[in-house]
Amino acid sequence: MSSDMSNLRKFVSPEIIFGAGARHTVGNYAHKFGARKVLIVSDPGVEKAGWVQDVRLSLDEQHIPYAIFTGVSPNPRCEEVMAGARFYQEQSCNVIVAVGGGSPMDCAKGIGIVSAHGRHILEFEGVDRIDVAIPPLIFIPTTAGTSADVSQFAIISDQNEKMKFSIVSKAVVPDVSLIDPETTATMDGFLSACTGIDALVHAIEAFVSTGAGPLTDMHALDAIRLININIAPLVANPKDMHLREQVMLGSMKAGLAFSNAILGAVHAMSHSLGGLLDLPHGLCNAMLLEHVIDFNYSEATDRFKVVAETMGIDTRGLTTPQIKQRLMQHVIALKTEIGLTQKLSEHGVSASDIPELSVNALRDPCLLTNPRKSNQRDVEVVYEEAL
């Protein structure tokens, strides 16, 4: 008896510990993985906030030695990955703990890849290029947005080419993610807004992705609901731990959705922008979101209608164009409420940059699952609208 295999979907996830205080279990997990010595990957800001010290104390309790690498930029660079891998080898580490936002976590993934293979990180651009097991990864996210702690993506910046590139492989899904809302308490309002919008875009793009399925849909829709309700109150009340927990939960669910359904044109274009201008990733997403919804809507009208309804829009009696308009207005209003009203031109993007941005976006694997197929001119027009 033959069966149709086209509907099969896989779903990958780390072991997840969610809740206040989760970060304090890092020593136990390092011990379980047989850690001789741990490489802690972080950045100066996270270290200053005190979260690295908590990891050190937990490792000390288990009598596990460690080395600390904090040479990570806001958009992690090839040379930082290579330096971290050299440090990992010099220190004879065998487990990696990342503490921070997307940058330290993506850098830690890169360090794991390079230390296992002994080759340059650029050689792993693309999908499923990793063929040697990398060291155990234990991640502690300190922002509620990037979801690098649950995803099979690593995004690295190539400063020579002025672009970001994606590494996609289940090999870079962390072994354990310790998701502790308390660690987000040191984020300022702007970072909370940027990372929250990043998570919202993850969820929307995962839901309308051509790789979506029932296993990802439930996470994507719950993430949209959680972030839509809680992100503006959180930016207004940054000390509210209940709101932080709700947005962190939404971010986690969005990450599980996009890691398995992949993403779309917002992220492909955002990676290109971030590579050229070294801007915050969430801000790049925010500047593009409604313009990509406008471009994609005709190819996923039923899905976008569900997105609109999940964001609290009453669609009864509305035509398809009216629903699209309401959804775009809602997204713009939400961005305005949390202070993300910038246009590309305000950050130095000019019309002359758009052809190069578009060529790089077309190379990004996130574009493969975008609901509407696009050529270079299509991408150029979206960038032009976002200027």
pLDDT of residue 3: 59
Q: Does position 2 have pLDDT exceeding 60, yes or no?
A: no
Confidence category of residue 300, pLDDT binned at 50, 70, 90:
very high
The highest-level CATH class for domain 15-184 is alpha beta
Cα→Cα distances 242→20, 197, 201, 252, 358, Å = 10, 18, 22, 15, 40
Instruction: Give the model confidence (pLDDT) of 146-167 as tens digits.
Output: 899 999 999 999 999 888 999 9
Tell me the pairing of strands 153-158 and 163-168.
antiparallel
- As given in the structure block, the two tokens for residue 112 are 């794991």
Q: Taking residues 329-342, what's their average pLDDT?
A: 97
Q: Taking residues 242-271, what's their average pLDDT?
A: 97
Residue 68 dihedral angles phi and psi, to the nearest 5°: -120, 130
Q: Does position 108 have pLDDT exceeding 80, yes or no?
A: yes
pLDDT of residue 277: 83
pLDDT of residue 356: 94
Residues in the chain: 387
Instruction: Give the model confidence (pLDDT) of 43-71 as tens digits.
Output: 999 999 999 999 999 999 999 999 999 99
Specify the DSSP element, H or E, that contains 303.
Answer: helix 301-310
pLDDT of residue 9: 82
Q: Does position 98 have pLDDT exceeding 70, yes or no?
A: yes
The beta-strand segments (E) located in 6-92 are 15-18, 38-41, 66-69
Instruction: Give the model confidence (pLDDT) of 218-254 as tens digits.
Output: 999 999 999 999 999 999 999 999 999 999 999 999 9
Q: Taking residues 112-139, what's their average pLDDT?
A: 97
Q: Taking residues 187-210, what's their average pLDDT?
A: 96
Please classify residue 302 by burial: count the beta carbons closer than 10 Å to its beta carbon, then call 0-12 exposed, 13-18 middle and 19+ buried.
exposed
Which residue ranges make up each domain of the chain?
15-184, 187-386
Under CATH, domain 187-386 is a member of which superfamily? Dehydroquinate synthase-like - alpha domain (1.20.1090.10)
Q: Please, what is the average pLDDT of the chain?
A: 96
Rounded distance, CA 247 to CA 171, Å? 27
pLDDT of residue 316: 97
